[in-house]
């Protein structure tokens, strides 16, 4: 809750709205205690007194009633009616929507058609008709305003509920034997509640206006009772001769609606989970680069060269060092493996290359990424865009999240090509077909017309691989590309990648947690732990004689076929969280070779340059 408020008030406009609204609320709540004259006491001798006249700070109206007193009491009435109407509409409308969306089928149809009929009437006409039927009065105005706003909530909430009702967690609740009522209250309601809150916060202002409108027409509050609308209505006749009588309630309506809307927008932004982790802005097109030290200017090695790259996540006061002084390079036709447990910083390293780490909270705080000698960090966005997907392509880790759910596979693949090349639809489709064949998708012609949800996870992953290869990139960064594939397809994909690098000189950065895959494909391998490279060198050498205890343990985790009965050694403990790393070796707490000096200070990556290790007591000396 405090986190929510902090986020809310970081938005200056929302804070301003909240402050103004709080002032107004304090004023109307304390109204009975304030030394105000009776708002309904007439004094015809003092009609239309100007503001700041003695005894009447804001002047008087056409019956000589004190405007300040009427304003405070009128605001109190308008706010109460508007809020009550909003709450009533939200509760009733949301209940209708959630039931219709959850029930589906005929119930949904009947309820929603009734709601549609309600919506088919012009808004204000419907309110007028309801008041005409019930008779004028504030309570009836409240009922009318609430009733015309029910469809807004019902349709909104129904739409979201329909999407949720088919999800797996609802099925799971049903399988667990929960009744419909429980499912609605404990499974669906918490998921739609933020939307309801946002709906209320953005419509309260509107409902206050509507109530004021009805009162203005004489259908709401009845004389002598004041509300903002009736004050405006009564002042209408004297608009020219005594403008202050209209300006005072008009200004108050403006202040109320404005402050509620500003606050409502702020609440909506703060409740958006995508904005929670960072500031109140959406991720930028490239990762923010804020290098503290000088840019490394060593001559670039290979085609793609990461030099002392540092990427951090700045979340509130905490700094997560996800990538810490990582130097890697890969040349044409070469395959570099990056291996490490989950959370060791492999994906963030890969995403940093073309500035794909979400900012905020991601910041590149140091180093350089040279592609053909040129630094990609801080490069003008237009140039970087031309490189993304065309020269440096990605196979992303999560194949479900990277495909658009509403477009066919063929269209998405064609788009990937057409972003960078002027080719016709036919040609792009032909290329897509060829790629699907290359990644061994059966019946590629019909698969082109499939939506992502019609494919299995493994097939979607293969589509992701095909899209990455669509523009014949120079560098391919593959982030655990074969995790969802069975071993035979995995072997075929690895063979395809191997062929591409041998024939076309494709440079591959292959991220995985599987040493078996590394052994098959990679020339060199870098082992990451807690954001740092702890060992790197030629694959064969590292597999045969791992130097870092962590590497040795990782290799020991791989089962061997025909290797006889052998206990698979899991690594005890968990990888550390990267915001409070201990001094010295981050692996020391889990390492059985650790000695006191391991925890003392910075340990350098040292060795022959071909095979390096970051360890004071390695298993072997490289
Ligand atoms: P992996 O090696 O499994 O690919 P990642 O590169 O995805 O690991 O993550 C590296 C580290 O960065 C993890 O410790 C993770 O907690 C942290 N991290 C990733 N994204 C964020 C984020 N948005 N905010 C804070 N920390 C993050
Ligand atoms: Mg990852």
Cα Rg, the chain, nearest whole Å: 33
Name which residue sits closest to atom 10 of ligand 1, judged by CA: 345
- pLDDT digit string (tens) for 366-417? 999 999 989 999 889 999 999 998 999 999 887 777 889 899 999 999 999 9
Is the shortest distance between the CB of 578 and ligand 1 below 6 Å?
yes
Q: How far is the CA of 186 from the centre of ligand 2 (A)?
A: 33
Lowest-confidence region among 166-180, 567-581, 597-611 = 567-581
Q: Given 1.10.357.10, 3.40.50.300, 1.10.3720.10, 1.20.120.80, which CATH number is that of 13-24+68-276?
A: 1.10.3720.10
Name which residue sits closest to atom 8 of ligand 1, judged by CA: 343
Which of these, 357, 272, 376, lies nearest to 314 by C-alpha position? 357
Model confidence band, residue 318 (pLDDT cutoffs 50, 70, 90): confident
Nearest listed ligand to the Cα of residue 342: 1
C-alpha distance from residue 54 to each of 32, 46, 59, 242 (Å): 22, 11, 9, 17
Rounded Cα distance, 89 and 452, in Å:
38
Q: Is residue 95 pLDDT above 90, yes or no?
A: yes
**Could you tell me if 66 and 37 are in contact, meaning their C-beta atoms sit under 8 angstroms apart?**
yes
Is the shortest distance between the CB of 342 and ligand 1 below 6 Å?
yes
Q: Is residue 279 pLDDT above 70, yes or no?
A: no
Q: How far is the CA of 346 from the centre of ligand 2 (A)?
A: 6
Tally helices (H) and strands (E) across the chain.
23, 13
Nearest listed ligand to the Cα of residue 398: 2
Q: Looking at the CA of residue 346, tell me the nearest atom of ligand 1.
A: 2
Q: Is residue 228 pLDDT above 60, yes or no?
A: yes
* Ligand 1 mutation pick, 322, 342, 363, max ligand atoms within 8 A of CB: 322
Nearest listed ligand to the Cα of residue 579: 1
Confirm whether pTM is higher than 0.85: no
Nearest listed ligand to the Cα of residue 346: 1
Q: What is the mean pLDDT of the chain?
A: 88
* Ligand 1 mutation pick, 276, 313, 531, max ligand atoms within 8 A of CB: 313
C-alpha distance from residue 157 to each of 162, 317, 483 (Å): 9, 37, 37
**Could you tell me if 369 and 548 are in contact, meaning their C-beta atoms sit under 8 angstroms apart?**
no
- What is the reported pLDDT for 278? 47
Q: Looking at the CA of residue 342, tell me the nearest atom of ligand 1.
A: 3
Q: How far is the CA of 566 from the centre of ligand 2 (A)?
A: 29
- pLDDT digit string (tens) for 405-448? 899 999 999 999 999 999 998 999 999 999 999 888 889 999 99
Is the shortest distance between the CB of 315 and ligand 1 below 6 Å?
yes
- pLDDT digit string (tens) for 522-569? 999 999 999 999 999 999 999 999 999 999 988 887 776 666 666 666
Q: Is residue 347 pLDDT above 90, yes or no?
A: yes
Domain ranges of the chain: 13-24+68-276, 398-472
Q: Is residue 506 pLDDT above 90, yes or no?
A: yes
Is the shortest distance between the CB of 313 and ligand 1 below 6 Å?
yes
* Ligand 1 mutation pick, 310, 319, 320, 356, max ligand atoms within 8 A of CB: 320
- Give 303-356 as a DSSP string: SEEEEEEEEEEEETTEEEEEEEEEEEEE-TT-EEEEE--TTSSHHHHHHHHTT-
């Amino acid at each position: 809750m405090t986190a929510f408020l902090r986020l809310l008030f970081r938005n200056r406009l929302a804070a301003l709205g909240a402050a103004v609204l709080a002032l107004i609320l304090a004023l109307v709540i304390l109204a009975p205690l304030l030394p105000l004259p009776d708002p309904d006491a007439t004094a015809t001798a003092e009609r239309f007194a100007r503001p700041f006249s003695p005894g009447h700070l804001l002047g008087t109206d056409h019956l000589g009633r004190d405007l300040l007193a009427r304003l405070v009491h009128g605001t109190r009435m308008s706010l109460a009616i508007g809020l009550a109407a909003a709450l009533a509409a939200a509760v009733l409308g949301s209940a209708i929507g959630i039931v219709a969306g959850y029930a589906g089928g005929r119930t949904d149809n009947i309820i929603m058609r009734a709601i549609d009929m309600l919506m088919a009437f012009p808004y204000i006409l419907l309110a007028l008709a309801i008041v005409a039927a019930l008779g004028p009065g504030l309570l009836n105005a409240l009922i009318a305003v609430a009733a015309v706003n029910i469809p807004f909530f019902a349709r909104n909430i129904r739409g979201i509920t329909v999407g949720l009702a088919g999800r797996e967690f609802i099925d799971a609740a049903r399988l667990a034997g929960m009744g419909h009522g429980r499912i609605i209250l404990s499974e669906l309601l918490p998921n739609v509640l933020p939307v309801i809150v946002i709906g209320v916060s953005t419509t309260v202002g509107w409902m206050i206006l509507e109530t004021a409108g009805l009162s203005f027409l004489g259908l709401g509050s009845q004389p002598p009772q004041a509300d903002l609308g009736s004050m405006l209505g009564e002042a209408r006749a004297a608009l020219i001769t005594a403008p202050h009588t209209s300006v005072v309630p008009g200004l108050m309506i403006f202040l109320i609606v404005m402050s509620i809307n500003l606050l409502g927008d702020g609440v909506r932004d703060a409740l958006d989970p995508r904005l929670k982790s960072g500031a109140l802005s959406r991720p930028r097109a490239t990762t923010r680069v804020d290098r503290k030290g000088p840019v490394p200017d060593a001559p670039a090695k290979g085609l793609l060269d990461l030099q002392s790259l540092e990427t951090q996540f700045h979340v509130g006061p905490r700094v997560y060092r996800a990538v810490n002084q990582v130097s890697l390079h890969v040349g044409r036709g070469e395959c570099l493996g990056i291996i490490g447990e989950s959370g060791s910083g492999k994906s963030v390293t890969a995403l940093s290359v073309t500035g794909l780490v979400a900012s905020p909270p991601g910041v590149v705080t140091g180093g350089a990424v040279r592609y053909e000698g040129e630094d990609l960090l801080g490069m003008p966005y237009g140039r970087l865009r031309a490189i993304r997907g065309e020269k440096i392509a990605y196979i992303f880790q999560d194949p479900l999240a990277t495909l658009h759910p509403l477009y066919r596979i063929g269209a998405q693949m064609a788009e990937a090509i057409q972003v960078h090349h002027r080719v016709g639809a036919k040609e792009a489709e032909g290329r897509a077909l060829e790629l699907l064949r290359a990644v061994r998708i059966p019946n590629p012609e019909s698969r082109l017309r499939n939506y992502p949800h019609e494919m299995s996870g493994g097939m979607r992953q293969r589509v992701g691989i095909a899209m990455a290869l669509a523009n014949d990139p120079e560098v391919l960064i593959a982030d655990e590309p074969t995790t969802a594939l069975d071993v035979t397809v995995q072997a075929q994909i690895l063979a395809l990648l191997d062929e591409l690098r041998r024939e076309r000189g494709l440079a591959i950065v292959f991220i995985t947690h599987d040493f078996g895959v590394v052994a098959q494909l990679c020339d060199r391998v870098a082992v990451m732990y807690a954001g740092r490279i702890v060992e790197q060198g030629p694959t064969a050498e590292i597999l045969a004689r791992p130097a870092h205890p962590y590497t040795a343990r990782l290799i020991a985790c791989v089962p061997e076929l025909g290797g006889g009965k052998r206990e698979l050694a899991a690594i005890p403990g968990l990888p550390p969280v990267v915001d409070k790393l201990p001094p010295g070796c981050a692996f020391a707490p889990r390492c059985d070779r650790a000695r006191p000096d391991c925890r003392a200070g910075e340990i350098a990556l040292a060795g022959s340059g071909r095979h390096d290790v970051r360890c004071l007591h390695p298993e072997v000396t490289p």
